[in-house]
Amino acid sequence: MLLFTSASPRRKALLQQIGFCEGIDFKLFDIKGNFKFNLFNKRLKIDEVKKLVIEAAQLKIQKALDDDEFYQNLDILGRKKTVLIGIDTIVYFKQRVLDRPLLINPQGIDKEIRNRANEKVRKMLSQLKGEDFSVLTGLVLAQGDNPKNKKTYCVATEAKMKQYSDNDIERYTQTGEPLDKAGGFGIQERGVILFEKIKGSYSNVVGLPIYEFVELLQDPLFEGRVTWRIAEKNYSENLPVTEGTPELSVVSVGDINYDISYSRLPEQFFSTLKPPGQHVRGEIKCSPGGTAVIFALKAKEEGFKKCSVLGVIGGDPLGKSIEEDLNRQCINTILPANYERSTSVSLILRDTREKDTSITITDSCQALSVDDVEKASNDIRKADVVFVSGYCLTDQNRQEAACKVMELAKENGQLLVLDVHVDMNKRIDYKRFLDLTKGKVDILSAEISTILAWLGENEHKQDDWDFLIRDIIPKLKEIPTLLLRTSSYSHEIIVSPSGILGPNELDYFQVSSEQRLGYADKRTACILYQLMSPRILLASASPRRLELLRQIITKNQIEILSSNHPEEIKEGETPEERVRRLAKEKAQQVFQNDKQYSPNIRVIIGADTEIVLDGEVQSKPKDNDEARKILKKLSGREHQAITGLALMDARTGEIKFNDIVSTKVEFKTLTDDEIEHYIQSCEPIGKAGAYGIQGKAACFIKQIEGSYTNVVGLPLEYLSTILESEFKISIWNLNKVSNWEFY
């Protein structure tokens, strides 16, 4: 059993990558303390730093032995069956050490502490811009029964950053990823796009040098204490990903009523009504209604695959009718019917004149508790969009629950949309609104008249666009994206971090009176779906390429459509010419196939990766014999991993980029047993060069020079640069939460 003095999730992921199982093969312990007090604020030679970082790792083991939980586990597991592991990683730059900007867990920290840590991130990344530096990890492995019997090693990886911009630094800082990482970057996350190249161990930059770690574990000193699982099968490695558009989901929070509506009153009915009144014949429509229901139904119409409503449904016959009707329309009701409550009923009378006046008489039994939200927490965490009705904030019976929903959405990275109801300003002032939302709202949907009233600007007209853009929108800077409409729904203006779109004329007066019901919700759902739908099409069914792309682009911005292009070898073609050609042809085939992809797709990515040894392509093995031959060739040798990359404009079919990226890879000398065990894992089959550097083969890689992601199959460092230079698309804007571009 391996006992780690670090609880780093990044190190845990690396251990699992090479087959170790948490709780069975290893345990992680969060040993706290100042282990690098001799490293900071001093100019140090690299040999001094190597010595001190090993001392820091050793100190972690000593500190762990004084920790009650660690000590108890040592006794329970058996000291003679355990290996104690101290590990510490730092960034060494210009004779100084850069550590983590935040030395505590980033979750739930004070705003002032976070701001100070962010300033450290900005300073570190500004220093590293365009520079060479080293990542050093001290490793100490000791016997559980005799910690003096140990092996130590310091692993150094050289790296170089791009000449990234100040905007890149700021946008990366805003992600929160750099806070708990040495040097203020995470190469295994979006921070990879800041890198130009590395030389040495990639996993060392993540926090655990796998090759060196495994070499130390194989020392006779630890014989019988480690369980090796390299031969265990991993079939999922070679399963193709599902093609198509990502399925987006929404949770809509608000009113759930039984609506009785009459939407065919004569034109200008209310303005011409006189005693003793008029007798009007027509059709009465009964159906589920309310803010949550209407938005969920409209979201379903616009393309959201899974739509759920969170609100109270009574346990009476009307409540049952609501549940059945919504389920027929494939809307999920999160909370079960509450037999202690009655169903809310709304009577809606609506005319069809220019301003489309309506009168609603409501018997409201709405209420929502924090306990209700807890019951719905799993649904909220899984959703892409959480829509909250403004009525929930102005209703004291639902306000606390609505705030809890917003907290959950913010914690889990969901897109939070708040719908401001008409005259909300009369129920709650703008300062109180900001206090309740506290920066959690990503999108605000509202009528301009309510916003003007909120800000005390009632005397201005809703369609005074110059005034709105110049004086009002800057006052709403706390909210990243705004969907603002006139009360008559004649025009709409959209404000996002990337700019202002509009005012745009709407078609409200061209649609039927029945279609006008829920018009604003339909517009909001339509904009959400368009902005959240894919921008990038990956012309590959490779699970590894998709996983890489998701490292820097949110999943809903990526569509998969395999080209199924034959990868034939042409006589006289060099490996470099071949991968470049195949990448281009894969993109072209997808484009030419009747454009069977989403209308918002901007870029098609084609890629082909090969392993080249002595100028010859090492094929993708179809069986164990082929894999065995290739691995024996690579053993103890240096080879090239080359990827042909093609980026096409999905609207015109023009290839904007078509070139190759090459990375040097050095293998250790493999024993016959290591080859056989690796083949038994099923990883080599179907992979270029018969290995996956992102899997168990990481144990075989002594070092790389260039791009690690290129060896996996898609060079993210270069891809991000090309998207910016050729398409003017920033990676930071391919994020569902608020950093959108309007294309």
CATH topology of domain 249-255+290-339+366-530: UDP-N-acetylmuramoyl-L-alanine:D-glutamate ligase (3.40.1190)
Q: Give CA–CA dist 86/3, Å, rounded.
A: 9
Give kind and range of the element (H or E) at residue 531. Answer: helix 519-532
Q: Give CA–CA dist 554/540, Å, rounded.
A: 17
Q: Give CA–CA dist 447/453, Å, rounded.
A: 10
Q: What per-residue confidence (pLDDT) applies to 108?
A: 67
Sign of CA dihedral 140, 145, 146, 147: positive
Domain boundaries in the chain? 2-222, 249-255+290-339+366-530, 534-733
Domains 249-255+290-339+366-530 and 534-733 belong to one CATH topology? no
Q: Give CA–CA dist 210/187, Å, rounded.
A: 15
Q: Give CA–CA dist 551/205, Å, rounded.
A: 16
Using alpha carbons, select from 139, 150, 400, 393 the residue that is nearest to residue 254: 393
Query: Residue 152, exposed/middle/buried by CB under 10 A (0-12, 13-18, 19+)?
Result: middle
**Pairing state between β 344-350 and 358-363:** antiparallel
* CATH code assigned to 534-733: 3.90.950.10
DSSP type of residue 700? G
Q: Give CA–CA dist 89/18, Å, rounded.
A: 20
> What torsion do the CA atoms of 312, 314, 319, 322 make, to the nearest 10 degrees?
0
Ranges under pLDDT 50 in the chain: 737-738, 743
Using alpha carbons, select from 383, 386, 258, 392 the residue that is nearest to residue 323: 258
Contact criterion met (CB below 8 Å) for 713 and 693: no
**Pairing state between β 83-93 and 26-28:** unpaired
**Does residue 67 have an active-site annotation?**
no
**Of the listed 608, 614, 623, 672, which one is catalytic?**
608
Mark out the alpha helices in 383-460 (DSSP H runs): 391-394, 399-411, 430-437, 448-454
Q: Give CA–CA dist 721/497, Å, rounded.
A: 21
Residues 9-61: pLDDT tens digits? 999 999 999 999 999 999 999 988 766 656 666 788 999 999 999 999 999 99
Q: Give CA–CA dist 440/455, Å, rounded.
A: 20
Residues 259-280: pLDDT tens digits? 888 877 777 788 788 888 878 8
Q: Give CA–CA dist 198/206, Å, rounded.
A: 12
Give kind and range of the element (H or E) at residue 662. Answer: strand 655-667
Tokens 């260039």 found at: 706
Contact criterion met (CB below 8 Å) for 522 and 529: no
DSSP type of residue 224? T
Query: Residue 235, exposed/middle/buried by CB under 10 A (0-12, 13-18, 19+)?
Result: exposed
Q: Give CA–CA dist 248/300, Å, rounded.
A: 10
SS3 of 362-374: the string is: EECCCCCCHHHHH
CATH topology of domain 2-222: Maf protein (3.90.950)
**Pairing state between β 415-419 and 443-447:** parallel
Contact criterion met (CB below 8 Å) for 494 and 443: no
Q: Give CA–CA dist 368/406, Å, rounded.
A: 14
Q: Give CA–CA dist 7/685, Å, rounded.
A: 33
Tokens 């999922």 found at: 236
Question: How far lies 161's CA from each of 134, 497, 563, in Å?
Answer: 11, 27, 34
Q: What per-residue confidence (pLDDT) applies to 742?
A: 55
DSSP type of residue 428? S
